[in-house]
Amino acid sequence: MSYRRPYRGTQPDYLFPPYASTVKRAPSQPLVVLPHTLSELTAPVFGYSDINPDDNDLTRQHKGEPLGERIVVSGRVLDENSRPLEGLLIEIWQANAAGRYNHRVDQHDAPLDPNFTGAGRAITNSEGRYRFVTIRPGEYPWRNHYNAWRPAHIHFSLFGPAIVTRLITQMYFPGDPLLEYDPMFTCVPDEKARNRLISLFDWETTIPEHALGYRFDIVLRGREATPMETPR
Just list the catalytic residues.
101, 140, 150, 153, 155
Distance CA 68, CA 226 (A): 49
Strands in 114-195 per DSSP E: 119-123, 129-135, 140-142, 148-150, 153-158, 167-172
From 63-71, 112-120, 122-130, 200-208, give the range in contact with other proteins by CB under 8 A: 112-120
Question: Of the two residues 16 and 214, which places its CB atom closer to other proteins in the complex?
Answer: 16
Between residues 46 and 206, which has the closer beta carbon with respect to other proteins?
Answer: 46
- Residue 19 as a binder of other proteins (CB under 8 A): the answer is yes
Q: Which of 66, 72, 74, 121 binds other proteins (CB under 8 A)?
A: 121
Q: What is the C-alpha separation between 106 and 140, in angstroms, rounded? A: 10
In this structure, the chain runs to a length of 232
Segment 44-63, which members bind other proteins (CB under 8 A)? 44-45, 50
Site for other proteins contains 139 (CB under 8 A): no
Residue 85: partners with Cβ closer than 8 Å, 6 or more residues away: 77, 78, 79, 124, 128, 160, 161, 220
Residue ranges in 192-221 that form contacts with other proteins under rule CB under 8 A: 193-194, 196-197, 218-221
Q: Does 174 bind other proteins (CB under 8 A)?
A: no
Position among 18, 42, 145, 200 found at the interface with other proteins (CB under 8 A): 42
Out of 99, 118, 138, 151, the residue judged to bind other proteins by CB under 8 A: 118
- Listed residue (48, 132, 126, 50) closest to 86, CA to CA: 126
- Residue 6 as a binder of other proteins (CB under 8 A): the answer is yes
74 and 124 Cβ atoms separated by less than 8 Å: no
Residue 91, SS3 per DSSP? strand
Q: Does 102 bind other proteins (CB under 8 A)?
A: yes
Q: Tell me if 75 sits within 8 A of 225, measured CB to CB.
A: no
Of 72 and 198, the one with the shorter C-beta distance to other proteins is 198
Size of the site for other proteins (CB under 8 A): 77
